[in-house]
Structure 1
Amino acid sequence: MLRTTVGSTARKAPPRTAAAFIRGVLRAATAAALTAGALVATAGAAQAANTAYYVDCSAATDGSGTQASPWNTLATVNARTFGPGDQILFKRGATCTGQLYPKGSGAAGSPIIVDAYGTGAQPKISGNGVPDAVYLYNQEYWELRNLDVSNTASTTAVRTGVRIVLNDFGTGDYYRIKNLNVHDVSGDLTKASVGISLDVYGTTTQTKFHDAILDGNTVRHVDRTGISNSTTWNCNPGWTGVCSGAGTANAFVPWTGIVFRNNTISDTGGDGLIMRNLDRGLAEHNTVYDAAQRSMENNAGLWTVAGDGDVIQNNEVYRVKRQPGTDDGMAFDADIAADSSVFQYNYSHDNEGGFMLFCGQCANATGGGSVVRYNLSQNDKSRFLYAVGQTSSQVYNNTVYLPAGSTTKIIEDGAGKTTKVALDSNIFYNLGTGGYSYENAAKAANYDWSNNTFYGHHPANEPTDPGKSTADPLFTNPGGGPGGYGLQASSPARGSGLVITNNGGKDYNGNPVPAVCRPDRGAFQSSSFTDSSCSPLLANGTFDSGASAPWTLSPNAAVTTAASHNGGRSLKLGAAPSTGEQTIAVLPNTTYIFTGWMKTGAATDTVELGVKNHGGSQLVAPTTSTTWVQKGLSFTTGPSTTTATVFCYHNIGGGSAYCDDLQVVRK
């Protein structure tokens, strides 16, 4: 059975509670800029480029900036305008108090570098309650390395550890924040208080960050957020009434080349890591734990909002708290207007709010096309998937373990929002009592299930699934972490999953997964395969070659580029009756599964998948959906049957209907 990874071309919208958020960060920006101006002297004349300047705040006197005669105050550093290739080196073991705000910008290939020298502990920048302990404003080509940054105070306020701001600047290029230890930031519990933050403001010049990498940093005991970014240029024409200031209306400026890698974030008041307004942003090999410890609002471990094609992979998130009266507290979240996000190879465990949130449709915003694959969820609480709005999303080849005593739901659907998602080849190993909670019975039809394993608890509303298995998947050591979910040699989950195009090519452990042969179910590919030995039962199910053969089409049906679920083409069926059908070779007394993606041009039309001439009664799976939805059916051949005819049929309506990514597999 074929299912294809989907994408979306929908534009992005502002983040959740956008109006309040923008007001908060603008307030923080103004306060920070005014306070910073009072703390530092006017920048002096630029110095010679490619010079190393040394700072030892334990030195008795303020020297000339050489290693033999170092500066000993941040005020001296802040009064200088540095140039391309300059280095500002802080002595290990020493502590500087106040705000670090050096001036100037580097150049391509010659950034300004802030780093440590000597031996011993990282040099400390102790903000002691300033708005931002380390601060850059309208500067680019900077590297910040190997500093210990704190910002404690007796009272809370909008406060950060490290903050880089661009205000009506244009494109700020090249930022590296590496191996910083940011901790004990006495921020308030608004989203403007962050351990490490990149922020864009202004209303006259479209502004963004480009080529910013945050790598190997440790952020702990900060309020409210661990690592984050924000922008005022986040407005979507489809979501009006939330933007602040002239010039922002209908303007969306996505950031590019943004990477969060190898960071460890813990003991945050609220969110762990937030990715906002990114074009193909990347978050990988990060660890987030003990997040959302103090904020009484909704928080998650690692989430993306208003981005396009973000990839969140190889991260571990655990012990995110779900505060009383809140809805979130999960490891991961594809939030408002997050289009085509990919969550893969992640390990989530012991999170009070669960594994995943889909929050793609709020107010009149758009969002969807998320792909969630090859993840491990172990002992997560509340629910595996909290679904409050996404379209055309896919959840496949994930492994979910819920121990005895768990009440975690597999699905919690609600909040008056519609989620449409296909769930394939997952293993739900549920020794608890949680099941499936839908806002109403009709919404259960928005979840398409194929070839999933449901082992353990079986509630009355367990999904209908044409490829369902309830057999023990025979894990090697269930409950034992990532090493415990390989499939034993006799596992019925081996070789019984769906064939999915654009499937990422590898499993949780980096092992290859089949592209043609049927894969194992779950996140771990344990059985061997040779794709060259497998061939599809149904030919040309994607129509991407542009040809129609071997399909037999009615006169008003044709292959088209006007609509596509994936790959650029689909089968267009004209005004009813209109059909495309194909006769395939089958084995007698054998069960097969036929699936495909369909949509209609109007809600009054009906299009259906079907099978006939297979040795049994004709079967159909219809839909009236005007967006792509997958449907499937299971059929068993007769005792002497060697062929069957499958079809896609527009049987009601005067407009058009479409079929794409059709596949037949043996069960």
Structure 2
Amino acid sequence: MLTILVLKNNGLKMLINNTKRIIDFLMTKAISMKKNNFSNLCIYALFGLMFTSCSKNFQKEAMPRKELSVVNQTTVAIRTFYVSSSTGNDTNDGLSTSSPWKTFKKVSSMTYLPGDAILFKAGDTWSSDNDTTLLRPKGSGSATNPIVIDKYGSGANPVFSLTRYPNSSGGVYGVVMMGNQSYWQINNLSINANNATVLNTLTQNNTTQASIAGIYFKNTNSTVQSNISISNCSVKSTSINGQLYTQAILGIGFEGAYNNVVVDGCTVDSCLAGIHSNVNLHFINPSSSSYQSSNITFKNNLLRGVWGNGIVIGSITNGLIDHNRVIGTSCGNGACIWLTGSKNSVVQYNEVSDQKNGSQDGLAFDDDDDEGTSNGDIFQYNYSHNNSHGFIMFMPSVQNVIVRFNISVNDGWSTGTTSRLLAFSPTGNNSGVSIYNNVFYTGQGITTRVIGTYGGSGSGWALNMYNNIFYVDGGTISAFSESALNQNSQFKNNCYFPSNKFTSASNYFTTQTNVITSDPLFKGEAAIGSSFGTNIISTSTNTIDFSKAITNFALQSSSPCINTGYNVTGNSAVYDFANNNIVGQTPNIGAIWTTNGTTSTYYTIKNRNTGEYLNLQNNIGKVECTQISPDSTSAQWYEELHNGYTRFKNKKTGQYMEEQNNLAYEEYNFLIGSDQWSCDYSLVANGSYTRLQNRYTNKIVNNQNNYGYAQATASLPIGYWSGDWTIETH
């Protein structure tokens, strides 16, 4: 039975709003429900309307968001508050688009309840010059009902502009800021931010000065805060009168212990730092051993012109930095994408380019120990090009890190100590670091070293390098290694071409096994010729596009690197750089393998209620459920069996349907680990149809509300067709 719960207040306006809300809801549900279920729903809904109309004590509220599920459960009415700088007034009740609030001050004076929404009018701007007014709404949502900040109406995202924040006291302050709060979703905001005066030197760490950020979450207590989602937001800053340190200190940041955080599809332009969690650098507040966080995901974000550190996660277990584009970042002493104090985190499918300047750091990637020892991290499937200080750095206490199936083009073109592809600390032995199946291309006019240090000279590094291709196309290798390598190092089945460029370089490691010295025969050589690596780089691209790298760095059929690789012990990779399934294949050398050519059977997944197919046609961040031709590769899925469960891998993208973040819809992503439960589904028979139940969340995949994407619901009665699917061979 459906029950609608309401609280206190009264009036004819409430009755009218409730009536309209019930009618709108019934019209929506009529599309996707069987006739008998819809009739029952009408009876229950009319009962709810009578209840709310006759009650002596009920709360004034706005129309619920359509995500509100009302099938076979008790539902708390959700309040929606509207805010408009152009038509609002803080004396309004804020409960409709015709009576919105106006200011941040009014919004921040309220404590919000689980399920509330705060919507800002599309196209409006909230601007402030030399003001401390920040958006600080109070309260926390719940696991089933987060509090949402979003926009209403059509048009551009609402703009929050704080151009001269007076940085007089210590700390980082966000234009949007939350303290000790959980279960919030922030979507579709555009933020402009600057400091009013020049910040002090980088060693200041905000102990005496304040600085402004775009969106900032701060947890100061011992309770881990959780379930924060930020999507489709932008943060932009510019220097005032050309003064560098007047820029916003940070685009998006988290300070303190958090669990289940997702920053997805956001843009950060020209801030001093990009997207961070718990990093004690560049004015960000000092980290602490009590800040241990888990399951933080930064994905599908774009960073441009960030002066310092780009994307960083510190004090973290199971972090994920995935499918981000980072351009012209880390001009100071930082790195573009890095981990610190990390356990079992993954950095994958990112494109990083055009880093320049800085001092000792400044590489595309870094695994660091500022916040404690990093152990068990994986850097895979990344594309790095034209980064002056090199591809990746390892600090002293980093252990058991894997770097595999990446492509580096024209990195390490700087001079002096920063001219290197791979950088290691001069102290420490980086125990267990394995670098295998990567491609390093060095083009015309570039002089670099294969292995260098982070300041000073280093010696005694014991490295494990297998199946890599080092290709010099008109460039120069000034040294194989800055210092002599430990003889316990393992170099097996690597390809060096032309070989004399490496063997004649200083500190060449002579104790190598199965060296390939002939041309690896990339496909780009045949198609373009000399300097083909330079020709595939597009520095102006703002979105990730690996297609040129895949086309040019795949191996020709006569390559000496096919089927001649070393079988790396413990290699858990399922795919190569081009997303070819390499399980059971004879190892190749390089990042893109030539597989045995076996064909796979693909399936379509069709909903019983609507006849629509699950697909990844438009890359919207959710598995779509729409009317689409079953001939489209985006609607075709490969089934993989895993420990008695089934995984669905999309033919077009190679991504898996999954529920990693336990949201209300089906997600998709590339496989992170071989035993990732969020990708596993039980196929439950329901007559001649099949239900899909996720192993990790136990949720049922369905199309109950016909949103255009597949929902994930904790329970769905057997009689509801929206949870029934036909899985057919295509």
Q: 1:327 to 1:231 in 2, by over 3 A?
A: closer
Query: Residue 161 of structure 1 contacts residue 185 of structure 1 at CA under 8 Å; is this kept in 2?
Result: no
Query: Residue 194 of structure 2 contacts residue 247 of structure 2 at CA under 8 Å; is this kept in 1?
Result: no
Q: Secondary structure at the match of 1:116?
A: strand
- Runs of 5+ consecutive residues of structure 2 not aligned to the other structure: 1-58, 62-76, 128-132, 166-172, 200-210, 413-418, 525-531, 537-547, 599-730
* Structure 1 residues 148-200: Cα deviation after superposition (integer angstroms, max 9, x where no partner): 01112442342211101100141101100000011116697599921100012
Q: Secondary structure at the match of 1:210?
A: strand
Distance in 1 between residues matched to 2:112 and 2:244, nearest whole Å = 33
Which of 139, 151, 173 is residue 181 of structure 2 equivalent to? 139
Partner of 2:420: 383
Distance in 2 between residues matched to 1:85 and 1:438, nearest whole Å = 58
Distance in 2 between residues matched to 1:521 and 1:528, nearest whole Å = 15
Which of 196, 201, 207 is residue 252 of structure 2 equivalent to? 196
| 1:59 paired to 2:87 | yes
* Structure 1 residues 584-632: Cα deviation after superposition (integer angstroms, max 9, x where no partner): xxxxxxxxxxxxxxxxxxxxxxxxxxxxxxxxxxxxxxxxxxxxxxxxx
Partner of 2:361: 328
Partner of 2:113: 83
Q: Secondary structure at the match of 2:343?
A: coil
Query: Residue 218 of structure 2 contacts residue 254 of structure 2 at CA under 8 Å; is this kept in 1?
Result: yes
* Aligned residue runs from structure 1 range 8-23, under 5 A: none
* Structure 1 residues 268-313: Cα deviation after superposition (integer angstroms, max 9, x where no partner): 11011111011010010001111123x3xx2111000001011000
Partner of 2:375: 339
Query: Residue 326 of structure 2 contacts residue 336 of structure 2 at CA under 8 Å; is this kept in 1?
Result: yes
Q: Which amino acid aligns with 2:104?
A: L
Q: Secondary structure at the match of 2:115?
A: coil
Higher relative contact order (CA 8 A, sep 6+): 1
| 1:505 paired to 2:574 | yes
Query: Residue 238 of structure 2 contacts residue 247 of structure 2 at CA under 8 Å; is this kept in 1?
Result: no
* Structure 1 residues 370-391: Cα deviation after superposition (integer angstroms, max 9, x where no partner): 1000000011122210111421
Q: Secondary structure at the match of 2:303?
A: strand
Q: For residue 440 of structure 1, report the CA deviation from its aligned partner.
A: 3.7
Q: For residue 518 of structure 1, report the CA deviation from its aligned partner.
A: 2.9
Distance in 2 between residues matched to 1:272 and 1:413, nearest whole Å = 21
CA RMSD of aligned residues (A): 2.5
Distance in 1 between residues matched to 2:343 and 2:321, nearest whole Å = 13
Partner of 1:552: none
Partner of 1:647: none
* Structure 1 residues 18-43: Cα deviation after superposition (integer angstroms, max 9, x where no partner): xxxxxxxxxxxxxxxxxxxxxxxxxx
Distance in 2 between residues matched to 1:47 and 1:281, nearest whole Å = 42
Q: Secondary structure at the match of 1:182?
A: strand
TM-score scaled by length of structure 1? 0.64
Partner of 1:299: 334
Partner of 1:601: none
Which of 387, 405, 419 is residue 445 of structure 2 equivalent to? 405
Distance in 1 between residues matched to 2:109 and 2:361, nearest whole Å = 45
Distance in 2 between residues matched to 1:188 and 1:446, nearest whole Å = 46
Of 146-155 and 188-197, the range deviating more from structure 2: 188-197
Q: 1:401 to 1:416 in 2, by over 3 A?
A: closer
Query: Residue 159 of structure 1 contacts residue 188 of structure 1 at CA under 8 Å; is this kept in 2?
Result: no
Q: 1:211 to 1:185 in 2, by over 3 A?
A: farther
- Runs of 5+ consecutive residues of structure 1 not aligned to the other structure: 1-45, 201-207, 233-242, 531-667
Partner of 2:562: 494
Q: Secondary structure at the match of 2:463?
A: strand
Q: Which amino acid aligns with 1:522?
A: G
Distance in 1 between residues matched to 2:452 and 2:220, nearest whole Å = 41
Distance in 1 between residues matched to 2:386 and 2:104, nearest whole Å = 43
Distance in 1 between residues matched to 2:60 and 2:116, nearest whole Å = 9
Partner of 2:30: none
Which of 232, 236, 239 is residue 183 of structure 1 equivalent to? 236
Q: For residue 419 of structure 1, report the CA deviation from its aligned partner.
A: 3.5
Q: 1:408 to 1:310 in 2, by over 3 A?
A: same
Q: 1:60 to 1:425 in 2, by over 3 A?
A: closer
Q: 1:168 to 1:261 in 2, by over 3 A?
A: same
* Aligned residue runs from structure 1 range 433-448, under 5 A: 433-436=476-479, 438-441=481-484, 443-445=485-487, 447-448=489-490
Which of 519, 522, 546 is residue 475 of structure 1 equivalent to? 522
Partner of 1:279: 317
Q: Secondary structure at the match of 1:312?
A: strand
Q: Which amino acid aligns with 2:368?
A: D
Q: Secondary structure at the match of 1:75?
A: helix
Distance in 2 between residues matched to 1:47 and 1:144, nearest whole Å = 24
Distance in 2 between residues matched to 1:399 and 1:332, nearest whole Å = 15
Q: Secondary structure at the match of 1:445?
A: coil
Q: Which amino acid aligns with 1:53?
A: F
Q: Which amino acid aligns with 1:526?
A: T
Q: 1:490 to 1:386 in 2, by over 3 A?
A: same
Q: For residue 410 of structure 1, report the CA deviation from its aligned partner.
A: 1.1
Q: Secondary structure at the match of 2:513?
A: coil
| 1:105 paired to 2:173 | no
* Structure 1 residues 306-328: Cα deviation after superposition (integer angstroms, max 9, x where no partner): 010110000000011232xx112
Partner of 1:546: none
* Structure 1 residues 390-410: Cα deviation after superposition (integer angstroms, max 9, x where no partner): 211100000111112210211
Distance in 2 between residues matched to 1:310 and 1:286, nearest whole Å = 15
Q: Which amino acid aligns with 1:331?
A: A
Distance in 1 between residues matched to 2:435 and 2:483, nearest whole Å = 21
Q: 1:305 to 1:504 in 2, by over 3 A?
A: same
Distance in 2 between residues matched to 1:195 and 1:396, nearest whole Å = 34
| 1:458 paired to 2:502 | yes
Partner of 1:160: 213
TM-score scaled by length of structure 2? 0.59
Q: For residue 60 of structure 1, report the CA deviation from its aligned partner.
A: 5.7
Q: Secondary structure at the match of 1:76?
A: helix
Q: Which amino acid aligns with 1:147?
A: L
Q: Which amino acid aligns with 1:449?
A: F
Query: Residue 189 of structure 1 contacts residue 270 of structure 1 at CA under 8 Å; is this kept in 2?
Result: no
Q: 1:217 to 1:60 in 2, by over 3 A?
A: closer
Distance in 2 between residues matched to 1:330 and 1:311, nearest whole Å = 17
* Structure 1 residues 489-534: Cα deviation after superposition (integer angstroms, max 9, x where no partner): 110011111112333121001102254x53110000124278xxxx
Partner of 1:124: 159
Q: Which amino acid aligns with 1:488?
A: Q
Q: Which amino acid aligns with 1:262?
A: N
| 1:351 paired to 2:380 | no
Partner of 1:210: 259
Query: Residue 580 of structure 2 contacts residue 595 of structure 2 at CA under 8 Å; is this kept in 1?
Result: no
Give the length in aligned residue pairs: 451
In the TM superposition, structure 1's runs of 4+ consecutive aligned residues that sit over 4 Å from their partners are: 46-49, 185-192
* Aligned residue runs from structure 1 range 419-438, under 5 A: 419-431=461-473, 432-436=475-479, 438=481
Q: Which amino acid aligns with 1:289?
A: I
Partner of 1:148: 190
Query: Residue 216 of structure 2 contacts residue 254 of structure 2 at CA under 8 Å; is this kept in 1?
Result: yes
* Structure 1 residues 40-76: Cα deviation after superposition (integer angstroms, max 9, x where no partner): xxxxxx9976200000011263322021111111111
Q: For residue 367 of structure 1, report the CA deviation from its aligned partner.
A: 2.4
Q: 1:168 to 1:314 in 2, by over 3 A?
A: same
Q: Name the % identity.
A: 33
Query: Residue 255 of structure 1 contacts residue 279 of structure 1 at CA under 8 Å; is this kept in 2?
Result: yes
Q: Which amino acid aligns with 2:508?
A: E
Q: Secondary structure at the match of 2:363?
A: coil
Q: Secondary structure at the match of 1:458?
A: helix
Q: 1:438 to 1:502 in 2, by over 3 A?
A: closer
Q: Which amino acid aligns with 2:362?
A: G
Distance in 2 between residues matched to 1:88 and 1:116, nearest whole Å = 8
